[in-house]
Structure 1
Amino acid sequence: MYSRILLCYDGSREGRLALREGARLAQITGAAVTLLAVVETASGNVYAIGADTVALGQQKADLDAILEEGRQRLTGMGLSPQVRIEFGDPVATITRVSVETEADLVVVGHHRHGFWTRWLSRSIAAELSDSLGCSLLLAQKVVEDSELFGKA
């Protein structure tokens, strides 16, 4: 079904759900896994928070630690992920990496928002569904350890 899965991971609760659900699919299908974190550098975001080289460097260091945690989790599940950290707009970057890795599934965590928040801000998931050339899974399912590790 899937031979290459791109797991987008940011260390959040939703990201952890995506990691576990995507990992389970990779276990079932035998798919290769790429674990991706994106440091958002969209000009509006960078200027709004007053980001500079030092701030972006710190954000990268934080994501390096988060990615290492994700890599360890996936390795513990019997997977051998390729790990990538990229800079740029999340939608454009995820789309580009999905093409580069020839992913046939992209897994992202679903962040729930209220009506006003959804109306006022961009929806990464909606933009991804329009830009990707492969399937997109908005992970929400809680995958238990027994499913991942075969423990009762």
Structure 2
Amino acid sequence: MYDVVLLATDGSTPASRALDRAVSLAVETGATLHVLSVVDAADLDLFADTDPGAVDDLLREAAETAVDDAVERATAAGVEVDRAVRVGVPHREICAYADEAAADVIVIGTHGRAGLSRALLGSVAARIVRTSAVPVLVVPPT
């Protein structure tokens, strides 16, 4: 059913729940799991008064750690894994990577925000659902 499962992760608790689901899918179907973390380019702009190189390094390191943790867990389950870290607009980068990797499904966790906090902070998961060319499995926080 699936040959390529794409997990988008930021290392958060909801992303960890999505990882569990993505690994299960990969094990059940024999799929390769692609683990992707995107450094939000807008976050780099928030720290304009700070050394941009230091901020970039810090955010990339956090993304690399999120990917490394996911790869370690997936590998321990016997899943073949590819990894990637990108910089850009998260939903755009995730959808572009899904196209490039010929993903059959994107798995992503959601923080479960509603109301004003969702409107102000936006939802990467919701944007992916609206713009993805492949099915998206959104894993709730609980």
Confirm or deny a common fold (TM above 0.5): yes
Pick one of 33, 44, 47 that aligns with 1:46: 44
CA contact (8 A) 1:8 1:35 kept: yes
Flag structure 2 segments of 5+ consecutive residues without an equivalent: none
- How many pairs align? 140
CA contact (8 A) 1:21 1:141 kept: no
Measure the CA separation in 2 of the matches of 1:127 and 1:140: 15
CA contact (8 A) 1:2 1:105 kept: yes
Q: Which aligned pairs between 1:1-152 and structure 2 lie closer than 5 A?
A: 1-42=1-42, 45-50=43-48, 52-140=52-140
Equivalent position SS for 1:10: coil
Alignment CA distance shift 1:110-1:73 (3 Å): same
CA contact (8 A) 1:22 1:107 kept: yes
Larger C-alpha radius of gyration, 1 or 2?
Answer: 1
- The equivalent residue for 1:147 is none
Flag structure 1 segments of 5+ consecutive residues without an equivalent: 143-152
Measure the CA separation in 1 of the matches of 2:67 and 2:94: 15
1:30-69: CA deviations, max 9, x gaps?
1111000111103xx4323336122011111122222211
In structure 1, what residue type is equivalent to 2:45?
A: Y
- Give 4+ residue runs of structure 1 displaced > 6 Å after superposition: none
Alignment CA distance shift 1:126-1:31 (3 Å): same
Post-superposition shift, 1:141? 7.7
Name the % identity. Answer: 26
Equivalent position SS for 2:41: coil
